[in-house]
Amino acid sequence: MSAMPALTHEEARSRARLIDVRHYTVDLDLTRGEEVFGSTTTVRFTTREAGDTFVEVRPRTLHRAVLDGHALDTAPLTDGRLPLTGLNAGEHELRIEADMAYSRTGEGMHRFTDPADGRTYLYTMCFQTEAPRVFAAFDQPDLKAPFTVTATAPEEWTVLGNGTAHRVEGEPGRWECATTPPLSTYLMALAAGPWHSVRTEHAGIPFGLHVRQSLGSHLDDDAQELLDITRACFDRYHEIFDEPYPFDSYDQAFVPEFNAGAMENPGLVTFRDEYVHRSAVTGTQLQSRAVTIAHEMAHMWFGDLVTLRWWDDIWLNESFAEYMGYQIITEATRFTGTWTEFAVDRKSWGYDADQRPSTHPVAPEPQDVPDTATALLNFDGISYAKGASALRQLVTWLGEKAFLAGINDHFARHRFGNATLADFLDSLARASGRDVHAWADRWLRTTGVDTLTPHITTDGRRWRLETTHTGDRPHRLTVGLYDLDDRDGTGAEDRLTPREPLTADLPADGGHTLSADGPRPDLVLLNDRDLTYAKVRLDADSWHTARRALAHLPDPLTRATVWNAARDMVRDGHLPPADYLDTARAHLPHERDDAVVAGVLDFARHEIADRYLPPEQRTAALETLTDLVRALLESEPAGAGRDGGVHLTAVRAAIDSATTPGDLHHWWTTGTLPGGRPLDHELRWRLLHRLAVLGAVNTSDIGAAHDADPSATGTEGAARCRAALPDPAAKEAAWQALFDETDTLSNYLLKATLQGFWHAEQQDLLRDYVPRYFDQAPALAARRGPAIAQALGRHGFPRPFTDPGTLALGQRCLADDRLTPALRRSLADELDDLARALRVRAAH
């Protein structure tokens, strides 16, 4: 298959000036075997003047191309581009017939055969640049057109598409999808296979849930909740948006080996099928799934109805969907703690990304996104979490009424078209009468995280808060004030009683001062309620109070804000990692919000124990975590049903933090975990993986577990466990499976093998693989594309080796001009995190 060069912004603008696409007819033949499918594309387009252009297509075999009834020479097809030369002004029709290759990397048309039952499923992921692996296209977001899609599939299959799909009478296996409104090429979607489906109708719109047959019973268990969430989001969006849902159906397909969390294809949203749970999950996991449902539905308006013109404006898609996902779930469902999870999980993703050299503005200038390869790298914590945080601050500043009025103005002006940042800001300015453009220059065109530091003085009758501000954004925030209430005078029952909070407007160019009567509060917390995006510090007295009574702050979002401040202080070298661990040991056993528990445990386990503390202190840190988790388990009942809550989070942490196999072996052999929790699918594989890391099981044990669970999840779990064995032959076998040029591993099996490979307990065994990683990863990334490159960077980086030698090897690799953009970005981020860990160690 030909490689596809990045489309440049200038090429896209030039082509958009020349042509207007009128209609795509795409006919797919899914009956040609396991390697290829047939793809016939007919594109009707007009040219405004005489000129030359090109169409993108990435075939295994290009059979023919016909332009206006005349066959084209296909030999000039180069790098996935077929030139169209000598075009006259007027209407044209291009027909391209090809065989396309199925994908195993989650890009283009992905093909998956379920190991549980041998059934095969297909789905498209056309996002950004992958549409030409499915059909011929003028592949850029501002050349929108209606699609009519047909497909021939095995007779027992069901075909799903952007428009309502139906069987063609008298033609077995033949399906036709209703013609869509104008769509960008990256949003064309099709899924085919013997799906297990649950269908209903809401507000006159057909709704459907679809999953592979082996997960059908689990979908049936989840269907009521999934549909309730979907209906609640649908109704809430129709309350706040004037524009009704713009497509003819709403299918949600949970598909295997999906790289993203989900994809907002109009009328056919695709999700990773791990969202159909086959084991116990926490309330936070259920809430996160609900947020994802709301996020993708928001895209039906933000991105699908109104689409960005070029990829510099991905914030118009992702930041809005991220914000709306959390806000709508809070307003419309039983999940009212979404912003706590956002603060603990998503926001830290944004903060971390924004402090690396690879940071970029939420809305970069067009010249800073010169091509699609650059744009792909910006789908990160900045475009999602920081962008959503900026919107939350904007709503705080403008008020929700003006904000929603601006959104509706934007939809009305650009429905089924394309828009830019300037277009949207104009709509907000009209609705609010505020200088939104100036706000955007400060918030959306700048990089980095502001830091807000309190300085508190008192004269006995009044106290005074002066906030210094490192950064250049204005902030409207809440200042939380809390007093200790030692009820019995012993300190054993410390409580924090809130005073009336203060509101502060910090200017972009300096600090801010507040003063109030009475004694100073024991705890002064900047950005209480987490309404702005900034690192906040605690003054010495407030931190002392937090260390004494953090668990007794009345609101989980307030507690999350304090934990985030402590996390930032560790990362910036201002708080010893051991102090964070001690604070967690003291307060986390009293925490009842699962998102807070999960976030603190994850940071303590994977950053503090594994990286920020020197290696000789790691075992002691894990033993502290084991004690912490034991206290959590004693204080939290196991619960019932599928919502495992804090207890399930603690059980997972108990497994992951174990330094010896004793308890783990007992749990494995009895099939029961602390609190009587049964050892379900997910926990069995987690437990077996930890036993493998500790050298307490062998390949026969792993094989027996796989025989008992031959599902896709079981196959991935077995690959992860085999790679984790502390055995030279097992490590070398895993390495060959990863890097052998046959490239047989699918995206998920490659990720599972990478996740099993590197462990701090096995440094002596793994040391020689560190230079091999930097030598071989670039070639693998170049062969297999961006999705594999990102997995290689994220899961394959030798994280246990937090030392200057690894940093030097990585920097040498980073200097290689042959690195693909996706791997270069991943490596740069990992190396910056490694350098930060070394600085934290040096500081303490």
Which conformational region is residue 505 in: left (phi greater than 0), alpha (psi within -120 to 50 degrees), or beta?
A: beta
Per DSSP, the residues of 437-504 read HHHHHHHTS--S--EEEEEEEE-SSEEEEEEEEESS--EEEEEEEEEEEESSSSSTTEEEEEPPPEEE
Tally of CB atoms within 10 A around 701? 16
- The C-alpha atoms of residue 639 and residue 653 are separated, in whole angstroms, by 17
List 158's β-bridge partners, or say none.
Answer: 193
Which entry of 176, 274, 296, 607 is annotated as an active-site residue?
296
For strands 451-458 and 462-470, give the pairing. antiparallel
Q: Which residues contact 841 (CB under 8 A, 6 or more apart)?
A: 612, 613, 614, 802
Edge-to-edge order in the sheet of strand 250-255: 196-202, 205-211, 250-255, 268-272, 262-263
Question: Euclidean distance between the first and final Cα of the chain, in Å?
Answer: 52
For strands 174-177 and 165-167, give the pairing. antiparallel
- The C-alpha atoms of residue 525 and residue 480 are separated, in whole angstroms, by 5
Eight-state DSSP code of residue 641: T
- Packed helices 318-332 and 387-398: angle between N→C axes, nearest 10 degrees: 60
Tally of CB atoms within 10 A around 124? 27
Please work out, in degrees rounded to the nearest 5, the angle formed at the alpha carbon of residue 333 by the alpha carbons of 331 and 334.
115
- The C-alpha atoms of residue 374 and residue 128 are separated, in whole angstroms, by 11
Burial class (CB in 10 A: 0-12, 13-18, 19+), 407: buried
Q: How many residues does the chain have?
A: 844
Determine the longest span between alpha carbons in the chain, in angstroms.
93
Alpha helices by DSSP H, 241-367: 283-298, 318-332, 338-341, 347-354
Half-sphere exposure of 287 (CA within 13 A, CB side): 24
Residue 556 host element (H or E): helix 556-571
- The C-alpha atoms of residue 803 and residue 799 are separated, in whole angstroms, by 10
Judge whether 255 and 271 are in contact, CB under 8 Å: yes
- Packed helices 821-843 and 769-784: angle between N→C axes, nearest 10 degrees: 150
- The C-alpha atoms of residue 334 and residue 281 are separated, in whole angstroms, by 16
List 479's β-bridge partners, or say none.
Answer: 502, 526
Residue 803: φ, ψ to 5°:
-150, 160
Burial class (CB in 10 A: 0-12, 13-18, 19+), 213: middle
List 503's β-bridge partners, or say none.
Answer: 478
User: Is 10 labeled as catalytic in the residue annotation?
Assistant: no
Sign of the CA dihedral 313, 317, 322, 323? Answer: positive
Please work out, in degrees rounded to the nearest 5, the angle formed at the alpha carbon of residue 741 by the alpha carbons of 735 and 745.
65
Sign of the CA dihedral 204, 210, 216, 220? Answer: negative
- Packed helices 283-298 and 318-332: angle between N→C axes, nearest 10 degrees: 120
Q: Which residues contact 56 (CB under 8 A, 6 or more apart)?
A: 4, 7, 80, 81, 82, 131, 132, 136, 137, 138, 139
Closest CA relative to residue 210, chosen from 186, 232, 230, 192: 192
Where in the sequence numbering do the catalytic residues fall?
296
